[in-house]
Amino acid sequence: MRHSLPIAPQFYVTAPQPCPYLTGRMERKLFTALQGDAAEKLNNTLSKQGFRRSQNVLYRPSCTDCSACMSARIKVEDFAPSKSQKRVLKRNADLTRSASSPWATEGQYALFRDYLDSRHPTGGMADMNLFEFAAMVEETPIKTRLIEYRSKLADGMTTEFQSEDPYEGLRAVSLTDILDDGLSMVYSFFAPELMKSSVGTYLILDHIQIARELDLPYIYLGYWVPGSDKMGYKINYKGVEIFRNGKWEAFSHPDDYSSETNPIIVAPIAEQVAHIELPDQSG
């Protein structure tokens, strides 16, 4: 089924499939292609309206009777680390950061595979091979960077020890889009043994620092889903905002948000598309 506005782009709807976040529900996505000279503008504009990028597609949930998924972002200006987050920073102080163009390597894939096998063995990416991983990383029509993290302790490794490391020195990686108003963390993964040091939290904290260095106001985290434990971490940061009812609002309390189904409050697809703001096509 296709729905279009008087001007490009075209919007489409996926067929319903099992929801990965809430048991017993079906999910559906509204999406559009991200391509051509206007890709950068489109990504910037739709990201501000709750869309996420996956390769050359922008999407957001559009389920028939559920509106639980809400885009989350951190307002950098309002963020201050909690005591536990300060401990996370200290525990991961040995990690060094570098940024590169989105180009996949075997070391990244080895790290990605071990991360999936330990954290998401039955998830949607569980069977992703090297070529599919490369497509996820490299197929981007916009400004994207691979933010890689290595341990300072590895600097003292012998060449023999380094050659035995399937990760090629990597300990964590984030595929990150650079928007006109922030950083969008598209996908992150890390060495399984770093789970105990809360490195996933550290990556978000470090991206807040990168945003400050670049004078960008927001960190886009993807979707928060009330009732889903795996998405709960996204509201653990001071300054979190939630995109709800067509606007961003400061996060209040988990009890103020519902994951209950309610087909009455879900607007028809044509109405959803009609209310999407598009970038200025002139110039």
Q: Is residue 236 part of a domain?
A: no
Residue 113 in domain: yes
Task: Give the C-alpha separation, 56 to 39, whole Å.
Answer: 9
Rounded to an integer, what is the distance from CA 7 to the centroid of its chain?
Answer: 28
Would you say residue 95 lies in a domain? yes
Instruction: Name the residue range of residue 154's domain.
Output: 76-220
| 179 occurs within a structural domain | yes
pTM equals: 0.91
In a domain, 131, yes or no: yes
Within a domain: 261: no
* Phi, psi values for residue 155, rounded to 5°: -60, -25
| Residue 119, pLDDT score | 83
Per run of 10 residues, the mean pLDDT along the chain (length 283 residues) is 61 94 92 92 97 96 91 98 97 96 95 91 82 95 96 59 75 98 97 93 98 98 91 94 95 89 81 91 60
Flag whether 50 is in a domain.
no
The total number of structural domains that make up the chain: 1
Residue 5: its pLDDT value, please?
Answer: 46
For 208, half-sphere exposure in the C-beta direction (CA atoms, 13 angstrom radius) is 21
Give the list of residues 6+ apart from residue 132 with CB closer than 8 angstroms, or none.
Answer: none
Amino acid 160: pLDDT:
42
**The pLDDT value given to residue 158:** 41
- Domain-embedded: residue 133: yes
Before 9, cis peptide (omega within 30)? yes
What pLDDT shows up at residue 161? 41
**CATH number, position 173:** 3.40.630.30
Residue 159 pLDDT: 43
- Angstrom CA distances, 167 to 171, 192, 204, stand at 7, 12, 21
Q: Over the range 9-26, which residues count as b (16 or more CB within 10 Å of their CB) and which as e?
A: bebbbeeeeebbbbeebe
